[in-house]
Amino acid sequence: MPDNRVVVYKSPGEVAVESIDYPKLELPGDVVEGLGIKKKAPHAAILKIVTTNICGSDQHMVRGRTTAPVGQSLGHEITGEVVEAGEDVLFVNQGDICSVPFNIACGRCRMCNEGKTGICLNVNPARPGAAYGYVDMGGWIGGQAEYVMVPFADFNLLKFPDRDQALEKIRDLTMLSDIFPTGYHGAYTAGVSTGSTVYVAGAGPVGLAAAHAAQLLGASAVIVGDMIPERLGQARSFGCETVDLRNDAPLADMIEQIVGEPEVDAAVDAVGFEARGHGKDAGEQPATVLNDVMGIARAGASLGIPGLYVTGDPGAPDENAKVGQLGVRIGLGWAKSHSMTTGQCPVKQYNRKLMNMILSGKADIAKAVNATTISLDEAPQGYQEFDSGVARKFVIDPHGMAPAA
């Protein structure tokens, strides 16, 4: 069997590429012992990684802002080629190139049957829902690797219809595992539709994906807020308006200068729990973005919250925030009759249709997020650059299969 190499968390700010065992068609011990199910997984497939991406959610772990242990494998944004399939896998075959939703789902429980694959009940004994290479998500090995095991393969894998076309479009298609559906989910659940005005907080990859999704959904104006000039420039590069949150002016005033009124029809929080206050020298204020979106969303609006919030943050600025308890102005949201959608994006609700948008040339997500290809050995450098705030989405190409941009 070939070796397998994977990116692992070593200490705050440090990752490394280490060798581990080649994957087997077996479930993790945490899942087997915690749920009392069989270890052998004839329903699984082993994939040779074609591309795998660095995500902001990974960065939270690497910054030491979660309870991730040293040695935690990383990577949940996976696109790969099937190299082995269990005897119960019927509809994907060796050689197929597939997108892997970051949600691990059994396809058999009540939540999966309701389409809520982000909170599958049979893949994580600690809580509903699981993901590859993530803390408290069931012990599944991460996909920033050379090979990975995918359980319940017939249900989880999205097969691309044509191999050559898939490789040609891989820098776009690699975004289907997480950030494109997640950004779309944020915009869709915020109620973005034809003619909407939209505010997206955060110009990282998920925020940029949400902004592009809002355009696809017909928004008349998409405003992106951030504190990093390079990221704001990236948002403007595909037609978004921007607000620089280093500015001390009220957000509502800056919105009014763009759309003519101090509110928008829909708002998206693509920042999450490491939010900062407004102003050049503002420190961390975890509830800032949640309060922002309630403040500038019109009465009756919906708020999409794909930004990550956690139940354990050892680096939080106060004791309440360390357990995910934030100073949210829920009374404001109640008074304005806002509805909010939180949690993992159920990727399978969106990925096939978004694949069609990419393959037909209607969506240009790689351009929107500035996809930048690196090797597996360059992953530690990619993490450092991403943490510095560069306007790039790093795509790891472990086997040299992705064509040059």
Query: Tens digits of per-residue pLDDT, 155-188?
Result: 999 999 999 999 999 999 999 999 999 999 999 9
Q: What is the distance between the alpha carbons of residues 218 and 296, in angstroms, rounded to a whole number?
A: 20
pLDDT exceeds 70 at position 118 = yes
pLDDT of residue 281: 85
Task: Identify residue 77 by its one-letter amino acid code.
Answer: E
- In eight-state DSSP terms, residue 388 is T
Give the burial class of 100: count Cβ atoms within 10 A of its Cβ; 0-12 exposed, 13-18 middle, 19 or more buried.
Answer: buried
Could you give phi then psi for residue 313, rounded to 5 degrees? -135, 95
Query: Tens digits of per-residue pLDDT, 180-238?
Result: 999 999 999 999 999 999 999 999 999 999 999 999 999 999 999 999 999 999 999 99
**If pLDDT is split at 50, 70 and 90, which confidence band does 329 have?**
very high
CA atoms within 13 A on the CB side of 361: 0
CA dihedral 371, 160, 342, 53 (to 10 degrees): -30
Is 28 in contact with 133 (CB distance < 8 Å)? no
- DSSP bridge partners of 99: 79, 158
Q: What is the distance between the alpha carbons of residues 35 and 220, in angstroms, rounded to a whole number?
A: 48
Tokens coding 364: 């240009």
Query: Tens digits of per-residue pLDDT, 289-318?
Result: 999 999 999 999 999 999 999 999 999 999
Q: Report the b/e string of 239-276 with b at 16+ CB within 10 A.
A: ebbbbebbeeeebeebbeeebeebbbbbbbbbbbbbbb
Is 198 in contact with 183 (CB distance < 8 Å)? no
Pinpoint the alpha helices (H) of 217-329: 229-236, 251-259, 288-296
Q: Does CATH place domain 182-341 in 3.40.50.720?
A: yes
pLDDT of residue 404: 63
pTM for this structure?
0.97
Give the burial class of 360: count Cβ atoms within 10 A of its Cβ; 0-12 exposed, 13-18 middle, 19 or more buried.
Answer: exposed
Give the mean pLDDT of the chain: 97
pLDDT of residue 280: 84
Is 275 in contact with 310 (CB distance < 8 Å)? no
The CA distances from residue 250 to 241, 253, 279, 299, in Å, are 17, 5, 10, 19
Give the burial class of 25: count Cβ atoms within 10 A of its Cβ; 0-12 exposed, 13-18 middle, 19 or more buried.
Answer: buried
Superfamily covering domain 4-178+346-396: Medium-chain alcohol dehydrogenases, catalytic domain (3.90.180.10)
Parse the chain into domains and list their residue ranges: 4-178+346-396, 182-341
Query: Tens digits of per-residue pLDDT, 13-54?
Result: 999 999 999 999 999 999 999 999 999 999 999 999 999 999
